[in-house]
Amino acid sequence: MIFTTNAAGTLAYLSPGWGEITGQDARSAANYGWVRAVHPEDVELVRALVARAVAEGREFSCRYRLIDIDGRPVWVAAAAMPRLDPHRGSFLGFLGCVNEILDSGTRADGLVGRLLPPPAGLSRLPPSRQEIAAEHILAAQARTLQASSRSARKAVELAAFEVSRQVTHGLDGVASADIH
């Protein structure tokens, strides 16, 4: 599942996969409504992590539980990177993904400023070209943070900006779940 936020951390786009797992539509998830789908024991961790990431404009990642459409807990791994204006470098929000973890033995683990490796055994593929591109951009961002040149990081940041713009605006002709 792919999402984008604005600079205040509120949702600009949320892919349909969210609703398939949680039963929440885009309107219900708008602003911080998505938190209602987070397992009650994990809400505080997730809220604090997202608030800190928004305040600092930093990448974040964590594992936590959602409550699925049948009321059962589902482990997910979420990661997001800042979307930066390519000309001014100002923080515009986040481009991120949430993936179901099929290994139910995973514990919640909040980490600020670091992307986790992609979880093994993803349950589904993103439905649009832009969402597939976003998944690749997020993986590339994680790799460039570890040991790449400044120019490689800049190229990935520019690609992330363009992909997140397209995902947010649904430019591939697929109906998007834009949140207004």
Residues in the chain: 180
Q: Which residues lie closer than 8 Å to 30 by C-beta, 6 or more apart?
A: 10, 11, 179
pLDDT at residue 136, as a whole number: 62
pLDDT at residue 120, as a whole number: 45
Q: Quick check: helix, strand or coil at residue 59?
A: coil
pLDDT at residue 128, as a whole number: 61
pLDDT at residue 67, as a whole number: 96
Biggest CA–CA distance in the chain, Å, is: 47
List the chain pLDDT tens, one digit each, 180 residues. 888 899 999 988 888 889 999 999 988 998 889 999 999 999 999 999 999 999 988 888 888 999 999 999 998 888 888 888 878 888 889 988 888 887 555 444 433 323 333 344 434 444 566 666 666 666 665 555 544 566 666 666 667 667 766 666 654 443 344 443
**What architecture does CATH give domain 2-169?**
2-Layer Sandwich (3.30)
